[in-house]
Amino acid sequence: MRRSVPVAGAVLVLGPLVVLVLLVAPGRSAPPESTDPAAGSGSGSPPVVQTQARRLLDRAAAAPGRMSYSGVQFVSAWTSRGTTSEVVQVDHEPGRGTTVTSDASPSAPARRMTLAATGTPSIADGGAVGVLAAHYSLSVVGAGQVAGRPVDVVAARRPGTAAGGQEAARFWLDRETGLVLRREVYDGRGRVTRANAFVEVRVGSGAVASDTGSRAWATTIDTTALAAMRGKGWDCPKVLPGPLALVDARRRDGAAGGIMHLSYSDGIATVSVFEQRGRLAGDGLAGHHREVIDGHEVWVSGEVPQRVVWTSGQTVYTVVADAPERTVDQVVAALPHQPATDGDTLGRLGRGLDRVASWFNPFG
């Protein structure tokens, strides 16, 4: 359903304009190029968080829970495969969620998805701002305008790198409401890898679609339950390369223990690790191609978010990542890669003994 601005028109008229603005906008100094493309957060001194930047980000984090809004947003991603962009209509209502609509294009039909509002992470304290402040130095670096609205600009820098730290992301925060109106993420060389910006926004007018929204799995796993899961053979590292901290854990019931979902983030990049008992079916997966990462054979999907799938022992791992490719490779290499084993006798005996032991284990 169209709203104030035709999305197709936005693609044709506003898209190139926004790209131009994103690339040549004054007031945004290009992040310094790093000699170490792999430079990540937490590699040196602890992050320094400016009080004013923290206050603005806290306000931004709370804004979607206080007000509805709608607008047209331009989203882009840059990778080694090239650049791609899309213009979407965004409608948000506090407590209900966000509906994202994309118009039909010559290559794809119109699509719409409603993402239900999510609760606080089950593991990480402090929410998005807490995770971000634990990994990056935060400071206010300027002011400007986005979609005709005054904004403050906050930069997140990787601590312990070059003088002043290398920028990892910038946030343009609406001065009136606190909403994030524009966001850019940079790789280790200072190149933009992700960007989204409102080209038009209206506060107080969002209308989430009435269809059932997609929501995160309801069964959350807290720190105590996670320890029990480790005891039952599930691999649950607290930190993955990046470094990325474990921020949330959930489970979906199903056959052979269901699927466990571990979410990792540094406040900018996100990686999900899904573990499922079994072994990968057939000779491959549709839409995936075979690759070798750090000597391990895996199946990779080039979509965004990126997916990497493999079998280790009797567990199928699926990594879904919105993170730099190098980080994804390091995460995949850090996870188990044992030869796939079938349900042999020793394996069954071992599981049976574990099961008998669990009957007598008061903490199991």
Please list every residue from 312 through 351 that binds another protein, using CB under 8 A: 314-316, 318, 320, 322, 325, 341-343, 347-349, 351
Residue type, 205: S
Residue 302 in the binding site for another protein (CB under 8 A): yes
Distance CA 184, CA 166 (A): 14
Secondary element (H or E) of residue 289: strand 289-293
Using CB under 8 A as the binding rule, whether residue 270 contacts another protein is answered as: yes
Least distance (Å) between residue 78 CB and another protein: 11
- Residue number with CB closer to another protein (49 or 132): 132
User: Are the C-beta atoms of residues 219 and 253 closer than 8 Å to each other?
Assistant: yes
Nearest-angstrom CA–CA distance, 209 and 310:
36
Smallest separation (angstroms) from another protein to the CB of 348 = 6
Enumerate residues 12-51 that contact another protein by CB under 8 A. none
Helix (H) or strand (E) holding 137: strand 137-146
116 binds another protein (CB under 8 A): yes
| Binding span for another protein by CB under 8 A among 30-38, 41-49, 221-229, 354-362 | 354-362
Q: How far, in whole angstroms, is CA 194 from its chain's centroid?
A: 11
The two tokens of residue 163 are: 């003088």
**Binding residues for another protein restricted to 140-179, rule: CB under 8 A:** 169, 171
Residue type, 316: V
Nearer to another protein, 163 or 255 (CB): 255
Stretch that binds another protein, among 13-21, 27-35, 116-124, 158-166 (CB under 8 A): 116-124
Q: Which of 58, 257, 333, 334 binds another protein (CB under 8 A)?
A: 257
Pick the piece of the chain touching another protein (CB under 8 A) from 42-50, 144-152, 158-166, 308-316: 308-316
Of 10, 300, 331, 332, the one binding another protein by CB under 8 A: 300
Closest by Cα among 109, 68, 65, 70 to 199: 70
- The verdict on 285 binding another protein (CB under 8 A) reads yes
Determine, following the binding rule CB under 8 A, whether residue 277 of this chain makes contact with another protein. Answer: yes
Token pair, residue 292, equals 């070798």
In sequence order, the 6+-apart residues with CB closer than 8 A to the CB of 332 are 293, 294, 296, 298, 308, 310, 319
- Contact positions with another protein (CB under 8 A) in 55-114: 57, 60-61, 73, 75, 77, 80-82, 84, 86, 88, 90, 92, 98, 100, 102, 105, 107-108, 111, 113
182 strand-pairing partners: 172, 197
For residue 47, give the DSSP letter: P
Should residue 301 be labelled a site residue for another protein when binding is judged by CB under 8 A? Answer: yes
173 Cβ neighbours under 8 A, 6+ residues apart: 56, 57, 59, 60, 151, 152, 153, 154, 179, 180, 181
Tell me whether residue 14 or residue 100 sits nearer to another protein (CB atom): 100
